[in-house]
């Protein structure tokens, strides 16, 4: 089978899994967070950020004319409607719990950033003027929330809790908050947003180590209660590649290009012969409790690494990024779940590249909900970003 045909097949099966995980109500279509294998059920959380990633994916597929031979216009509209419905004056909360019938009321910066990116993209996709007004209003509310979260030094506080308190800045929330500003800047060309972007990028550049690896949130807060111990060292560097690639595409800064190359150099050193990007190397094992050098994380790393590699290729034209991405895309396509199970078409949370099997758990810190690991099959954060990356890769073959 030709590579492009295999990718199309992978996308088709992934879309079937996502359709199974949809949640429909009077407000539109939301996306369930994940299937929990060891509990044999869907998570009760319908998350705005996962829904936003799904919306972006379908708009990409339609734009590229790949995937299903059908239009996604109506589904995109209903996904956008549900995202808009989720937005309050403080932005979008973590998710809607179908068991309690209530919204989980913590407001995360990275989640809101993904909603803002999707709605900004939708403004350029949709011709429904009634919905556009609602979307513009939702974007303004999220923008105001992000502005409250960004500190003068450029970093973004992690979240606003239901008790009215801010968590301190996280690396990942600073990446996504800055990327959301970048997408909004492309739409508005507002110079005030430009300065917010550059502040965020400068803070992140200051946290790139001599090896090219980005400092992890876990390292920032080692020993403190709000550290993220489940996110592997490869994760935030993979996410940063997306931001730096898009920033270079927009601003053509030589400094940004240099730092993109150094981050890529480190991240690509984690790519195995099979194509997967593992959690860490020996030098970064202490940067997270996810320190198994044989595991390839699917929740936070590999999908975003694929997107980042292809964004870098399109922004710079360097073949090294395409080689990295093709190898990674082939690997991800090869390990997609094909068994006759509820999560067929998805990807579990982590894969052992030595044993060639799903492996790993993430119960650190008493996390009984399996944050990542082989028992979670995420929609957003895993399946959608992987399919998004594969859609970008398929575009290279057309």
> Could you tell me the CA-to-CA distances from 110 to 13, 50, 221 in Å, in that order?
27, 11, 18
- Say what the pLDDT of residue 361 is: 80
- Say what the pLDDT of residue 397 is: 84
- Say what the pLDDT of residue 70 is: 54
- Say what the pLDDT of residue 366 is: 46
Tell me the C-alpha distance between 289 and 74, whole Å: 43
Q: Spell out the residues 6+ positions from residue 28 whose beta carbon is closer than 8 angstroms to its own.
A: 77, 78, 79, 80, 81, 82, 83, 85
Q: What domains are defined for the chain?
A: 3-397 (1.50.10.10)
Instruction: Look at the block and give the residue holding tokens 């506080």.
Output: 157
- Say what the pLDDT of residue 362 is: 66
- Say what the pLDDT of residue 373 is: 87
Instruction: Look at the block and give the residue holding tokens 């595991």.
Output: 295
Instruction: Look at the block and give the residue holding tokens 């090896």.
Output: 211
- Say what the pLDDT of residue 370 is: 63
Contact 12, 344 (CB under 8 A): no
- Say what the pLDDT of residue 368 is: 54
Q: Spell out the residues 6+ positions from residue 208 whose beta carbon is closer than 8 angstroms to its own.
A: 214, 215, 240, 259, 262, 263
pLDDT in tens, the chain (398 residues): 788 999 999 999 999 999 999 999 999 999 999 999 988 999 999 999 999 999 999 999 988 765 455 579 999 999 999 999 999 999 999 999 999 999 998 999 999 999 999 999 999 888 777 789 999 999 999 999 999 999 999 999 999 998 899 999 999 999 999 999 999 999 999 999 999 999 999 999 999 999 999 999 999 987 777 677 788 999 999 999 999 999 999 999 999 999 999 999 999 999 999 999 999 999 999 999 888 999 999 999 999 999 999 999 999 999 999 999 999 999 999 999 999 999 999 999 999 999 999 999 865 544 555 677 899 999 999 999 999 999 999 999 87
> Could you tell me the CA-to-CA distances from 186 to 92, 146, 238 in Å, in that order?
22, 17, 22
* Tokens standing for residue 97: 């719990």
Q: Indicate yes or no: pTM above 0.85.
A: yes
Contact 48, 86 (CB under 8 A): yes
- Say what the pLDDT of residue 67 is: 44
How many other C-beta atoms can be found within 10 angstroms of the C-beta atom of residue 74? 10
* Tokens standing for residue 47: 């998350």
């Amino acid at each position: 089978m030709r590579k492009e045909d295999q990718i199309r097949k992978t996308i088709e099966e992934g879309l079937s899994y996502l359709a199974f995980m949809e949640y429909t109500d009077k407000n539109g279509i939301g996306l369930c967070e994940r299937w929990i294998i060891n509990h044999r059920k869907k998570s009760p959380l319908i998350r705005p950020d996962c829904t936003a990633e799904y919306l972006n994916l379908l708009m990409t597929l339609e734009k590229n004319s790949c995937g299903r031979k059908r239009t996604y216009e109506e589904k995109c509209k209903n996904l956008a409607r549900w995202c808009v419905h989720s937005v309050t004056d403080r932005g979008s909360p973590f998710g809607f719990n179908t068991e309690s019938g209530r919204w989980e009321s913590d407001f995360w910066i990275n989640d809101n950033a993904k909603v803002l990116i999707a709605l900004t993209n939708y403004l350029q996709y949709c011709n429904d003027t009634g919905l556009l007004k609602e979307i513009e209003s939702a974007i303004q509310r999220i923008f105001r929330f992000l502005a409250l979260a960004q500190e003068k030094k450029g970093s973004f506080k992690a979240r606003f809790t239901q008790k009215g308190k801010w968590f301190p800045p996280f690396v990942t929330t600073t990446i996504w908050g800055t990327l959301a500003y970048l997408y909004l800047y492309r739409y508005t060309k507002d110079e005030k947003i430009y300065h917010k972007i550059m502040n965020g990028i400068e803070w992140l550049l200051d946290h790139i180590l001599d090896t090219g690896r980005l400092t992890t949130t876990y390292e920032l807060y080692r020993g403190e209660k709000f550290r993220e111990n489940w996110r592997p060292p490869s994760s935030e560097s993979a996410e940063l590649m997306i931001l730096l690639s898009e920033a270079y595409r927009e601003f053509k800064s030589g400094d940004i290009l240099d730092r993109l190359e150094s981050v890529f150099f480190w991240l690509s050193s984690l790519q195995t012969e099979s194509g997967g990007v593992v959690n860490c190397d020996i030098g970064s094992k202490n940067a997270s409790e996810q320190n198994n050098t044989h595991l390839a994380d699917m929740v936070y790393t590999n999908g975003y690494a694929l997107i980042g590699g292809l964004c870098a290729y399109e922004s710079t034209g360097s073949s090294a990024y395409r080689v990295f991405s093709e190898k990674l895309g082939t690997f991800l396509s090869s390990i997609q779940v094909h068994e006759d199970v509820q999560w067929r078409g998805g990807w579990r949370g982590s894969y052992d590249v030595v044993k060639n099997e799903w492996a790993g758990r993430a119960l650190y810190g008493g996390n009984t909900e399996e944050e990542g690991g082989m028992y979670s099959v995420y929609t957003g954060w895993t399946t959608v970003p992987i399919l998004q990356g594969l859609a970008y890769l398929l575009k290279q073959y057309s």
